[in-house]
Amino acid sequence: MEQFLLSLIAGIFIGGAAGYLGTLMLSKKMALVAGPLGHLTLPGIALALIYGFDISLGAFPFVILGIILIWLFEMKTKLPMEALTAVVFASGVAIAFLFLPIEQAETALVGDISKISFLDTLITCILCLFLFLLIKKIYFKITLINISEDLAKSEGIEVKKYNLLYLFSIAIIVALGVKVVGGLLTAALVAIPAATARNLSKNLLQFSLGGTFLGVLSSFLGILIFKTTGFPAGPLIIIVSTFFFLISLIFKKI
Amino acid sequence: MSENLILKVENLNVRLENEEIIKGLSFEVKEGDVLTILGPNGAGKTVLLKTLLGILPYQGEIKWQKKVKIGYVPQRLPFIKDTPMSVEEFFELKEASKKGIKETLNSVGFEESFLNKNIGELSSGQFQRILVAWALIKNPDVLLFDEPTTGIDIGGEETIYTLLTKLKEKRNLTILLVTHDLSVVFKFSNFVICLNKCPICQGIPKEVLSLETLHKLYGEEVKFYEHHKH
C-alpha cells in the first residue's frame, strides 16, 4: 500500500508540473520537443538500468546534451526548431538499442513508477515544486516572447536568458517524466493535458491551471487503474489523458 | 544634444545577413514632432524602427534623450492567437497595474468590460487600438508605430489617426510612424523621411515631397497612385 502511495504522489507531482509547462510549450509550438528529448534520454536510461542507478539521473545528462544541441542549432541555423529536434530524434533510440538489455526495454520505453523509493519520491516532489516556481516566474515573459520577440526585446526582456531558463525547465521535466512514462511517451505527458486545456479555456489563467489540473488528474487516474488492472502505469496515464482530450473536443470553444 | 531634441541619428548603417538594409541615414527628432518614415515595401522602414528600439545591430550613432521612455506598436502579432488570453492578461504581461490598464483602455475609447474579452475575438481595428494602449500604458515619451492600418474604422467613425492626434495632445507624445500612405504623411506629420535603403529625401512633407522625389522613391507607377488619391 505504501509503495502504491509513493508512486501515486510522485506521479501526481510530475503530471502536474508537466501539464503546467506543457501549456507554455504548446503556445510556443514546442510541445513535441519533449518527444525527441525523451528519445534521446534512452541511452542514459539504459545505462541506469544496467548499473542500477536512478533513471532520471541517467536521463538528465542526455536531455541536457539534447537541449544544448537544439539551442546551438537554433542559433547557428535558421531551421525551425521542429526540424532541428528531428535531427536529434532517432539517434537516441538507435544508440540505446545497441546496449539496452531487452528484458528491461519496457521500463525504458514506457516507464515504471511502481517501485519508486521514498527518497526518490521526496526528491521528485522537491524538484517538481522548484519547477513550478521557476515556470511561474518565467511564464509571462516567455508568453510575451512567444507572441513577439521584438515586442519582448523592446520591453527590455533578456530573451536569451529566459529561453535558457525555459529549456532548462524542459530538461528537468523530461528527466522526471521518463520515470513515469518512459522515453517514448514523455511528449504526450506535456502535450496532451495542454492541448485539452487549450480546447476548454478562454484565457491564460484557465489554460495554465487547466493544463496543470489535467496533468494531475490523468496521472492520478492512470496510476489508480494500474493498481486495479496491473497494466503498466505509463501507458495508462497517457490513455486517460487522451480520453480527456477526446472529451474536450466536444466542448471545444471556437 | 540640444535641449528639445529627443533623438539624433547619425550616419546609421544596418546590415542584416550580409545585406545592406539602411545606408548612411542621419536625422533628428524634436520633442512633439510627428515624423513619418515613407517608402515602398522592403525599403527598410520596419528595420529602422527596430534599430531605433535597440533590437537590431547597427553602425553609426543613435542617441536618445536621457531617460526617454519608448512605446512600440508592432505591425502585426500573428502568433498572439496561439495563446488563449484575455485583454486584461495581455496587459498583465507588461506588469501593468489594474488601475493603469483601465485608464489606458479608456483613453483609447474602450469600456472596462472589454478587459474580459478574448484577444482572439477582437476585430482588427479593435486589436490595433489595444496595441496602441499597450504601448501607452507605461506613459512613454515617444511612440514608435509600425504601419498603422489605414482606412479601417476603429469604431465610432474614428480612424487611428484621429485617435493618435488626440493622444498626442493629451500625453505630449513624440511620434515616429512608418507608412506608405501619402495622405497620412501630409495630414498627420510635420516631418518626413523618404527611405529606400538609402535616404531619398527628408524635411517638411509639403516642401520635400515633389513628384520627382516620389518617382525616385517608388518608381514611375506613383503617378497612377497619386491620381487615385486626389
Q: Which of B221, B197, B217 is nearest to B43 (CA)?
A: B197
- List the CATH code of the domain at B5-68+141-229: 3.40.50.300
- Nearest Cβ partner for A148 among B70, B77, B85: B77
Unique residue bearing C-alpha cell 534599430 = B51
- What residues of chain B lie within 8 A of the CB of A207, using their CB? 83-84
What's the pLDDT score for residue B156? 53
Task: Return phi, psi of residue A111, to 5°.
Answer: 80, 165
Exposed, middle or buried: residue A108 (CB in 10 Å: 0-12, 13-18, 19+)? Answer: buried
CB within 8 Å of chain B, chain A residues 134-173? 140, 143-144, 146-148, 150-151, 153-155
Q: Which whole number is the average pLDDT over A47-59?
A: 91
Which residue shows C-alpha cell 520515470?
A179
| B42 touching A (Cβ < 8 Å) | no
Gyration radius of chain A's alpha carbons: 17
Q: Is the pLDDT score of A142 beyond 60?
A: yes
Minimal Cα–Cα distance from A254 to chain B, Å? 10
Q: What is the pLDDT of residue B229?
A: 43
Closest-CA distance of chain B to residue A144, Å: 7
Of A153, A154, A204, the CB nearest to B84: A204
- Of all residues in chain A, the percent with pLDDT exceeding 70 is 94
Contact B202/B192 with Cβ under 8 angstroms? yes
Residue with cell string 488626440: B166
pLDDT tens column, A180-203: 999 889 999 999 999 999 999 999
Question: Is beta strand B59-64 parallel, antiparallel or unpaired with respect to B5-16?
Answer: antiparallel
Give the pLDDT confidence score for residue A1 in this predicted structure: 53
Whether the per-residue pLDDT at A39 is higher than 70: the answer is yes
Measure the CA–CA gap between A156 and B138, rounded to whole angstroms. 13
Q: Choose among A198, A203, A205: nearest Cβ to B118.
A: A203
The answer, yes or no, to whether residue A105 has pLDDT greater than 60, is: yes
What pTM value is reported for the model? 0.88
CA-CA distance, B28 to B118, in Å (whole number)?
40
Work out the angle at residue A202's Cα, subtended by the Cα atoms of residues A223 and B163, and round it to the nearest 5 degrees: 155
Higher-confidence residue: A133 or B106? A133
Residue in chain A closest to B116 (alpha carbons) equals A203
As a whole number of angstroms, the distance between CA B228 and CA B230 comes to 6
For chain B, domain boundaries: 5-68+141-229, 79-139
- Compute mean pLDDT per 10 residues along chain B, 230 residues long, and list them: 86 90 92 91 90 94 93 88 91 89 89 90 87 91 86 63 86 90 84 87 85 78 48
CA-CA distance, B82 to A198, in Å (whole number)? Answer: 9
Q: Residue A76: CB partners within 8 Å, gap ≥ 6? A: none
* A150/B54 CB distance under 8 A: no
B87 to chain A, closest Cα gap in Å: 9
Residue A165 counted as domain residue = yes
A226 within some domain: no
- In the three-class reduction of DSSP (H, G, I as helix; E, B as strand; rest coil), residue B80 is classed as helix
Contact A144, A163 (CB under 8 A): no
**pLDDT value at position B111?**
87
For testing contact with chain A, the best of B18, B83, B90, B136 (most A CBs within 10 A): B83
Chain A residue closest in CA terms to B73: A151
Convert B179-206 to b/e letters by CB count within 10 Å (16 or more is b).
bbbbebbeebbebbbbbbbebbbbeebe
CA atoms within 13 A on the CB side of A41: 41
Give residue A56's domain range: 2-19+30-187
Whether A34 is in a domain gets the answer yes
Give the pLDDT mean for A232-253. Answer: 92
Query: Residue A118 maps to which CATH number?
Result: 1.10.3470.10
Domain count of the fold of chain A: 1
User: What pLDDT is attached to residue A251?
Assistant: 84
Q: Is residue A138 part of a domain?
A: yes
Q: Which three cell numbers stand for residue A249?
A: 473536443
**Alpha-carbon distance A129 to B34, whole Å?**
51
Residue-averaged pLDDT of chain A: 90
Partner A contacted by B211 (CB < 8 A): no
Quote the CA–CA distance of A29 and A33 in Å, as a whole number: 9
Contact between B84 and A150 using a beta-carbon 8 Å cutoff: no
pLDDT beyond 80 at A80 = no
Q: By CA distance, what is A208's nearest residue in B?
A: B84
Report CB contact under 8 Å: B85, A203: yes
Q: Do the domain assignments include residue A252? A: no
User: Scanning every residue of chain A, which has its alpha carbon at the shortest distance from the alpha carbon of B47?
Assistant: A150
Q: Is residue A224 part of a domain?
A: no
pLDDT at position A122 over 60: yes
Hey, are the CB atoms on B70 and A202 less than 8 Å from each other?
Answer: no
Question: Contacts of residue A29 in chain B, CB cutoff 8 Å?
Answer: 82
Rounded to whole angstroms, the Cα distance separating A14 from A121 reads 10
Mean pLDDT of A53-65: 91
Task: Let me know: does A40 contact A62? Beta carbons within 8 Å.
Answer: yes
Interatomic CA distance for residues B192 and B38, integer angstroms: 7
3-state secondary structure (DSSP) of residue B4:
coil
Q: Is B84 left (phi over 0), alpha (psi -120 to 50) or beta?
A: beta
Q: Is residue A77 part of a domain?
A: yes
The answer as to whether A231 is a domain residue is no
Whether the CB-CB separation of A38 and A187 falls below 8 Å is answered with yes
Rounded Cα–Cα distance for residues B185 and B206 (Å):
9
Mean pLDDT of A61-81: 79
Beta strands at B34-38 and B142-146: parallel, antiparallel or unpaired: unpaired
Q: What is the pLDDT of residue A119?
A: 92
Report yes or no: A179 and A113 within 8 Å, Cβ to Cβ: yes
Would you place residue A82 in the very low, low, confident or very high pLDDT band (cuts 50, 70, 90)? low
Cα torsion at B94, B96, B100, B106 (round to 10°)?
Answer: 40
